[in-house]
A and B are shown apart, each in its own frame.
Chain A
């Protein structure tokens, strides 16, 4: 089966930076996604990495190291609205998307 690990919870202060790590072991790899999910809502797409390196998109950046089975999502200049669950998901060799359990980020004033 697929194994995707990420921390359960993180807390940070408004304006700060938070890094959410994700490690994965999957049968095949066709890319890694990060999604944001607010309580009771569907996930919304944040980023997709298939090659090693850093992808920057505004306040959010995502990094991938395929050899280490590792990714992180970096949230900069945190805002209260960034309080949500962040899901790491891997597209395996069959193009099935498997999700980690999610990291709940709480932003405090």
Chain B
């Protein structure tokens, strides 16, 4: 089956610093990648959708200058949390979708971000 990896799995950073999370599709080409955020005991909230080679589309309320998304290739998307604050501490999950006829989204294992 299709595999999506994320790196790192856990990261702790200090308030004010930036942290980059990578999402890779290991055995398929992902034309579209999605970034979600999940707070404890809450639903996954879509942050943004990115298509390879074009700018990401952000959901309402998500600051594009704070959460920088780059989908530079068909197998890699990155999310950079800039000037992180403790309230950015969350579980970040990416997912990837292949060809337009494939409805399934394949989820990465998630990245636990803690901002101190």
Contacts and interface: CB of A to CB of B under 8 A. Distances in A.
Contacts of A44: 107
B44 A41 contact: no
B31 to A, nearest CB: 12
Contacts of A48: 103-104
Contact of B104 (A40, A45, A98, A100): A45
A42 B43 contact: no
Contact of B49 (A35, A91, A96, A98): A96
B44 A43 contact: yes
B112 interface: yes
Interface residues of A, number: 20
A96 B110 contact: no
Contact of B103 (A31, A99, A100, A101): A31
A42 B49 CA distance: 18
B43 A91 contact: no
A88 to B, nearest CB: 10
A102 B108 contact: no
A64 to B, nearest CB: 14
B37 to A, nearest CB: 11
A91 B41 CA distance: 22
Given A42-B93, A96-B49, A87 B107 contact: no
B105 A97 contact: yes
Contacts of A97: 34, 46, 105
Nearest to B45: A99
Contacts of A96: 46, 49
B8 interface: no
19 contacts: A4-B43, A30-B103, A31-B103, A40-B110, A40-B112, A42-B108, A42-B109, A42-B110, A43-B44, A43-B107, A44-B107, A48-B103, A48-B104, A97-B46, A97-B105, A99-B43, A100-B43, A101-B43, A102-B41
Interface of A: 4, 30-31, 35, 40-45, 48, 87, 91, 96-102
